[in-house]
A and B are shown apart, each in its own frame.
Chain A
Amino acid sequence: MEKDTLVIGGHEFSSRFILGSGKYNLDLIKAAVEYAGAEIITLAVRRANTNGTGNILDYIPKNVTLLPNTSGARTAEEAVRIARLAREVGCGDFVKIEIMRDTKYLLPDNQETIRATEMLAKEGFIVMPYMYPDLNVARDLQNAGAAAVMPLAAPIGTNKGLCTKEFIKILVAEIDLPIIVDAGIGAPSQACEAMELGAAAIMANTAIATAGDIPKMAGAFKKAIEAGREAYLSGLGRILEHGASASSPLTGFLE
Chain B
Amino acid sequence: MEEKRTNHMEYMEGMEILEDSTIMDQVIEKMKAYDYHKYTGADVRRALYRDNRTPEDFAALLSPAAEPFLEEMAQMAQKETRKHFGNSVYMFTPIYIANYCENYCIYCGFNCHNKIRRAKLNEDEIRKEMKAIAETGLEEILILTGESRKMSDVNYIGEACKIAREYFKMVGLEVYPMNSDEYAYLHECGADYVTVFQETYDSDKYETLHLAGHKRVFPYRINAQERALRGGMRGVGFAALLGLADFRKDAFATGIHAYLIQRKYPYAEIAFSCPRLRPIINNDKINPKDVHERELLQVIMAYRLFMPFAGITISTRECERFRNHVTQIAATKISSSVSTGIGSHSDEIDAEDQGDSQFEIADNRTYDEVYAALVDGGMQPVNNDYVYV
Q: Which residues of chain A have a CB within 8 Å of any CB of chain B? A: 135, 139, 169-170, 173-174, 176, 235-239, 241, 244, 246, 249-251, 253-255
Chain B residues with CB under 8 A of A237: 46
Chain B residues with CB under 8 A of A241: 49
Q: Decide: A139 and B75 in contact? CB cutoff 8 A.
A: no
Nearest A residue to B330 via CB reads A250
Interface SS of B by simple majority: helix
Is B45 close to A, CB under 8 A?
yes
Q: Decide: B48 and A253 in contact? CB cutoff 8 A.
A: no
Contact flag A246-B75 (CB < 8 Å), given A251-B70, A253-B325, A254-B294: yes
Selected from A139, A169, A173, A253, the residue in CB contact (under 8 A) with B322 is: A253
Q: Decide: B321 and A253 in contact? CB cutoff 8 A.
A: yes
Is B150 close to A, CB under 8 A?
no
Additional 12 contacts, C-beta under 8 A, given A244-B75, A250-B71, A254-B297: A139-B266, A174-B266, A176-B263, A235-B46, A238-B45, A238-B46, A241-B49, A249-B74, A250-B74, A250-B75, A251-B71, A254-B294
Chain A residues with CB under 8 A of B7: none
Chain B residues with CB under 8 A of A244: 75
Chain B residues with CB under 8 A of A253: 321-322, 325
B201-232: which residues lie under 8 A (CB-CB) from chain A?
none
Q: Decide: A173 and B49 in contact? CB cutoff 8 A.
A: no
A selection of 28 A-B contacts at a CB cut-off of 8 Å is A169-B51, A169-B52, A173-B52, A174-B263, A176-B263, A235-B46, A236-B46, A237-B46, A238-B46, A238-B48, A238-B50, A239-B49, A241-B49, A244-B75, A246-B71, A246-B75, A250-B71, A250-B75, A250-B78, A250-B329, A251-B70, A251-B71, A251-B297, A253-B321, A253-B322, A253-B325, A254-B70, A254-B293
Q: Decide: A251 and B46 in contact? CB cutoff 8 A.
A: no
Is B328 close to A, CB under 8 A?
yes
* B-side interface residues, number (CB < 8 Å): 23
Nearest B residue to A235 via CB reads B46
Contact flags B50-86 to A (C-beta < 8 A → 1, else 0): 1110100000000000000011001100100000000
Bound form: Cα–Cα A180–B44 in Å? 29
Bound form: Cα–Cα A169–B51 in Å? 10
Nearest A residue to B322 via CB reads A253
Nearest B residue to A237 via CB reads B46
- What 10 pairs between A and B have smallest CB-CB spacing? A238-B49, A250-B74, A253-B325, A173-B52, A251-B71, A251-B70, A251-B74, A249-B71, A250-B329, A254-B294
Bound form: Cα–Cα A57–B343 in Å? 80
B308-337: which residues lie under 8 A (CB-CB) from chain A?
321-322, 325, 328-329
Say how far B89's CB is from chain A's closest CB, in angstroms: 15
Selected from A170, A246, A250, the residue in CB contact (under 8 A) with B325 is: A250
